[in-house]
Structures are given as C-alpha cells and as structure tokens.
Amino acid sequence: MVEFGRGPVPQSDDLIPYAGRWVAYLGSQVVAQGGMPQQVLRIAGSARYKETPEVFYVPTDTPLDFSPFLERIRRALPAHPPVYLVGGAVRDALLSQQSHDFDFVLGGDALQVARRVADRIGAAYFPLDVERATARVIYTGESGERVILDFAALRGPDLEADLKDRDFTINAIAVDVNDPQALLDPLGGLADLRTRTLRTCSPESFRSDPVRILRAVRIAATYNLSIQPKTREQMRGSAHLIETVSAERLRDEVLNILGAPRVRASIQALDLLGALEPVLPELASLKGVEQSPPHTLDAWNHSLDTLNQLERLLHVLGPVHDPDASESLFMGLAVLRLGRYREQISELLESDLVTDRKLRSLLFLAALYHDIGKPKCQRQPNGTGRIQFLEHERVGALIAAERGRALHLSNVEVHWLETVVEHHMRPTWLAREPQGPGSRAIYRFFRDTAQAGVVVCLLSLADLLATYGATLPQERWARQLEVVRALLAAWWENHEEVVDPPALISGNDLIHEFELEPGPQIGQILEALRESQAEGQVNNREAALDFVKNFLKGLRDRGQGCRSRPLPF
C-alpha cells in the first residue's frame, strides 16, 4: 500500500513549480505530478511500474483561508466516510475571499449526514432531492447572516469522477474537510485560476446543462477571467439549448448576472454568444433605434451605457467611500450631494422582496428595460426632424412586467419592476421645473412609486449620464442631483411629514361628519387632504375637518358636489 504524505515534504527549490500539486518521488527525483494522489500513481506506474513511489502534497505558498465556520462543521461530521468540500468555497479560499456557501460531497448517506450536521449546529434541514441524495442545511446567525450548506452523494464511483462532471475547472477543486490545506485538483483548476482562465471540465458541459452558459459569463465577469477560446465556441454552439431550461433557473442566473460586477460586459457577452435573445428576447428590438439629441447613442447602446453608469454611480455611493472613484467631476458632485445617504442606499439595494433575490439585481433589470417601449413608440412628426417616443415609459412598463412574469418573478417583484420602468422619467421632468419639486410634487411622486421611488432616482441619474455622454453640461447634472437629493431627503428625513402624512380623519369620519355616501369621492377627498398635509397646510384634526368643509364648498360652487345621504323623511 502506498502512503500519501503531507509532510515532511522533501525540501528543494525544484518543488516550487509544483505548489498545490501532488508529486511522486523515487529517491530524490520527481517522477510524476498531478492534482490527486491516485492520478499521480497512475502516471508514475505507467513509466516505473516495478517501483513504489512516495506521494507527497506540495503546499501552496499561502495557506488556504477558509471561514472559521468550516471547523464547526467539521466537528459535526461523522468520522467516516470521507467528506469533501468542493467548488466555490475552495475557489474563494484560493482567492483569499470568504464564502458563506459550502458544497459537500461524500460517498455515504448524504441526507443522513446533512441532518446530523443540522442537529449539531442548530440549523434548519431541507431535503432537496431525495432520489439524488441532496439536502440543504441553512444556519442563521444571531445578526441574521445566513450560511448555506449543501450535501450531495458523489456523482460517479469516486471523487475524481464527480469533479470531472462539474461545470468549470476552477469549480472542480476539492479538499478533504479533515485535511483542508491539501488540494484535490484533477483538472488543473488552480493553474486556470492563476492564469485567470475559465475552462469547461468537459466538451459536453453546456449541452448537458445549458444554463452553464449564463453562469460562465457571470463567473468570468465576477473574477475577471478570460473565457478560453474553445470554451467560447462550445458556448456559442449550445446557446440555442437555453430555450429548454426552466424559467426559474433562467431567472436565478439572470438575476445573478445583474447583481454581479461588470453588468454591461456580461450582457454584451451574452449577446455576442447568441445567448441573450433566448433569455431576454425583447432587447433585440432596441438595436438600431436612433434617437435625437441630446442622445448620443441609439436605444440599444444607450441602455448598455445606462448599466455602466449605474454601476459607477452605485460604486461611488457604496457603503465605503472610494476617493479614487469619485475623482471625476460628475461623480464627485454625486458624492457631495448624495453621499450622506450611502448607508441607506446600500441597505436598500441589499434587501430583498423575495428571499435571496436582491433589489440591486431588479434595479439593473429595470435599467436594462427602461427604454424597451421606444421601438413601439417611435415617431418622427413631419417637418420637425426630431424623433419622439411619447408614452414609451408606460408601454415599456407593460413589456417589462410581461418579461418579469415569463421569468416567474413574484407578483411583488413584477409590480416593483413595472413601477420603476413606468416612472423612470419622473425625476427628469421634475428637474425641468425652475423652482425644483415642491412638497406636493414630492408627495405625489412617492404616492405613485413608494419605496421603488428611491431606485427610480438612482436610475434617472444613470439615464441622464448615458443620454448626454461627454456632452452633459455641469449645470444640468447639478440640477438633476438637487432634485434627487430633495426626493431622498423627503424619503429618509421627512418621511412622515411629506411622504406618508398620518391619517387625521377617516372615511367613516367623512360619512358621519358631512353625511356623505360611501364611494370613490371619499378616497378623493382623503387624498386631497393628505396632499395638503404634505404641504404643511394641515396638521391636526380640526384643521383637517375645516379643509374638508372648504373642499366640499368648492365642489358645490363648481357644481361638482358630493352625494349626501338621503334624509330619513
């Protein structure tokens, strides 16, 4: 029997190129190297079959930095069979990044092991696929942070076969949880990480699961990797199969792309690979749709640049101030006007309407679709020479909502998406007012948009930057920033006074105090009252009743009186 050693590793400068690899030693000579000890033995045996080598692991220069939570999981695991941590958590440790998702594989009963771990660490247990022996454990910490642990049976006879069946080499790296510093890397994923290359584990990778095409684009953008040319060809050749993927899986991967860095580059990559139209088919209609000045781009490239500008804006307004990112005049002005709200903006974008689907991703989906109504609304009145897109925001909202339903977004997410697209022009219209928005206009804005109004403000800024490009006048940008500042101040600093004034009287009060009949005019009166509250004209019950009395008198004077209850005689 061959012993697989971890140390002491023979000391030699000749071993430096083998860091993170297993080597076979005969005497003082390396006779084979590979990503797993069994792999090394096969290679060594083919050339030196009569001799028995020693097999050692050569450690990486820097120890792998796993989350301390891994040790807690390890203590909860049974001694046998061996349990391996695979995929993203290992990749992230090699990149010195912390992970909150752990994937484990083992040769035994994965469901039983998952339940045991859940019981030991006080977490929730969910069987995901009993037939394929896959389960999930979700641990929620005291501050609300979640750690997700997935347990699965080995796919194939051993770990090597399991890893070769995965998507990309950088995700086909494993460690034994009892020896987490020794990589098991049969496909050279560590070398690909070092050269920043994304490569499939198998030529059939995308045909067996077409959603991997979207995942490849996201991973390349997130980790700044170059997709191997052969892998790109495989993606292009399998793009038509995306139509066979379930809406739920497409939705999750699209939102993951939109929530990752370099969104514009990802969308362009999907388009060049022929993978965008099967997922978001309406976007093709934007190509070649010309726009009049101040627009400098057609509708498609404008939408792409809006994504880019939005990402820049959210970066400078992120939770941590980045002086380098705000060096440009326009970004510096944005920080000056809006930097006080960076924590609130970040908290909002990291929140979700549905568990694990961040508002940030929905905002970028809205940005991508904000002008989707323009192709249907394009007009060029005779003699004007200008292209118009009247009502494009309303038409676009319907199209965006339909795409949201096709992706199986929840009803609340679809409504949120529709609201953002429909009202994305509102801050720009308010900026055209010489005096800026008054309290009544701000109240009406948030009455129609609610919390979505905050991201409408952010989208309007990105939209303006993408509209003018390098021709944007500083005064125009400053005016838009001032409108957005006023709106955000109302939402976060004067919410009760301007955005959501407290109810001073009810519909029942109107019915009893003024002998009105129930009906839609009750709501109209209450809405007029709330607008007056937002303007500071009414602030107590007595003033509210006086307001209603004068309001009704005005209606009667104009011949529009409300219907009163008939007298009882």
Q: What is the pLDDT of residue 566?
A: 41
**Beta carbons of 102 and 109 less than 8 angstroms apart:** no
In the predicted model, what is the mean pLDDT of residues 484-505? Answer: 94
pLDDT above 50 for 567: no
Q: Are strands 146-153 and 101-106 parallel, antiparallel or unpaired?
A: parallel
**Residue 235's CATH number:** 1.10.110.30
User: In terms of residue numbers, what domain contains 238?
Assistant: 205-272
User: Are residues 489 and 367 part of one domain?
Assistant: yes
Using DSSP, state whether 333 is helix, strand or coil. Answer: helix
Let me know if residue 187 belongs to a domain.
yes
User: Are residues 415 and 288 part of one domain?
Assistant: yes
Let me know if residue 447 belongs to a domain.
yes
Half-sphere exposure of residue 11, counting CA atoms within 13 Å on the CB side? 1
Q: What is the pLDDT of residue 80?
A: 86
Torsion of CA 18, 23, 26, 32, to 10 degrees: -90
Pick from 229, 245, 272: which residue ends a domain? Answer: 272
The token pair at 452 is 């979505």
Tally of domains in the chain: 5
**Separation of alpha carbons 324 and 257, rounded Å:** 26
Q: What is the pLDDT of residue 13?
A: 65
pLDDT above 60 for 564: no
Let me know if residue 218 belongs to a domain.
yes
Let me know if residue 564 belongs to a domain.
no
Sheet architecture: strand order including 22-26: 4-5, 54-57, 22-26, 29-34
* Residue of 508 and 557 predicted with greater confidence: 508
pLDDT above 80 for 327: no
The token pair at 259 is 């929530």
pLDDT above 90 for 356: no
Identity (one letter) of the amino acid at 74? Answer: R
pLDDT interval class at 569 (50, 70, 90): very low
Q: Are strands 226-227 and 197-198 parallel, antiparallel or unpaired?
A: parallel
Per-residue pLDDT tens for 75-103?
A: 999 988 999 999 999 999 999 998 889 99
User: Are residues 520 and 481 part of one domain?
Assistant: no
Average per-residue pLDDT for the chain = 91
With 0-12 / 13-18 / 19 or more C-beta atoms within 10 angstroms meaning exposed / middle / buried, residue 489 is middle
Let me know if residue 565 belongs to a domain.
no
**Beta carbons of 126 and 173 less than 8 angstroms apart:** no
User: Are residues 471 and 545 part of one domain?
Assistant: no
Q: What is the pLDDT of residue 28?
A: 77
Q: What is the pLDDT of residue 48?
A: 65
pLDDT interval class at 10 (50, 70, 90): low
Per-residue pLDDT tens for 297-322?
A: 999 999 999 999 999 999 999 988 88
Let me know if residue 541 belongs to a domain.
yes
User: Are residues 345 and 295 part of one domain?
Assistant: yes
Q: What is the pLDDT of residue 259?
A: 96
Please give the model's pTM, rounded to 2 decimal places: 0.90
User: Are residues 94 and 49 part of one domain?
Assistant: no
**Separation of alpha carbons 278 and 236, rounded Å:** 12
Residue whose token pair is 């001799």: 51
In the predicted model, what is the mean pLDDT of residues 456-466? Answer: 98
Q: What is the pLDDT of residue 561?
A: 56
Q: What is the pLDDT of residue 165?
A: 94
What is the share, in percent, of the chain residues with pLDDT greater than 90?
A: 73
Q: What is the pLDDT of residue 12?
A: 64
pLDDT above 60 for 219: yes
In the predicted model, what is the mean pLDDT of residues 166-173? Answer: 96
**Separation of alpha carbons 322 and 316, rounded Å:** 6
Task: Read off φ and ψ for residue 274, nearest 5 degrees.
Answer: 75, 20
The token pair at 187 is 């496909």
DSSP states along 221-244: HHHT-EEPHHHHHHHHHHGGGGGG
Q: What is the pLDDT of residue 99?
A: 87
Q: What is the pLDDT of residue 478?
A: 96
Q: What is the pLDDT of residue 568?
A: 34
User: Are residues 446 and 330 part of one domain?
Assistant: yes
Instruction: Please list the residues that pair with 24 across neighbouring strands.
Output: 32, 55
With vertex at residue 396, the alpha carbon angle to CA 390 and CA 402, rounded to the nearest 5 degrees, is 155
In the predicted model, what is the mean pLDDT of residues 205-217? Answer: 97
User: Are residues 292 and 424 part of one domain?
Assistant: yes
Let me know if residue 200 belongs to a domain.
no
pLDDT above 80 for 326: no
pLDDT above 60 for 542: yes
Q: What is the pLDDT of residue 362?
A: 97
Pick from 155, 175, 195: which residue ends a domain? Answer: 195
User: Are residues 313 and 458 part of one domain?
Assistant: yes
Pick from 195, 215, 232: which residue ends a domain? Answer: 195
Residue 300: closest CA among 277, 280, 284: 284
**Separation of alpha carbons 180 and 174, rounded Å:** 9
pLDDT interval class at 2 (50, 70, 90): very low
In the predicted model, what is the mean pLDDT of residues 24-39? Answer: 88
Q: What is the pLDDT of residue 324?
A: 77
**Beta carbons of 498 and 439 less than 8 angstroms apart:** yes
Q: Are strands 4-5 and 54-57 parallel, antiparallel or unpaired?
A: parallel
User: Are residues 229 and 143 part of one domain?
Assistant: no
Indicate the helix (H) or strand (E) that contains 32: strand 29-34
User: Are residues 262 and 292 part of one domain?
Assistant: no
Name the least confident of 120-129, 487-496, 513-522: 513-522
User: Are residues 523 and 461 part of one domain?
Assistant: no
Let me know if residue 568 belongs to a domain.
no
Instruction: Please list the residues that pair with 103 across neighbouring strands.
Output: 86, 150
Indicate the helix (H) or strand (E) that contains 39: helix 37-47
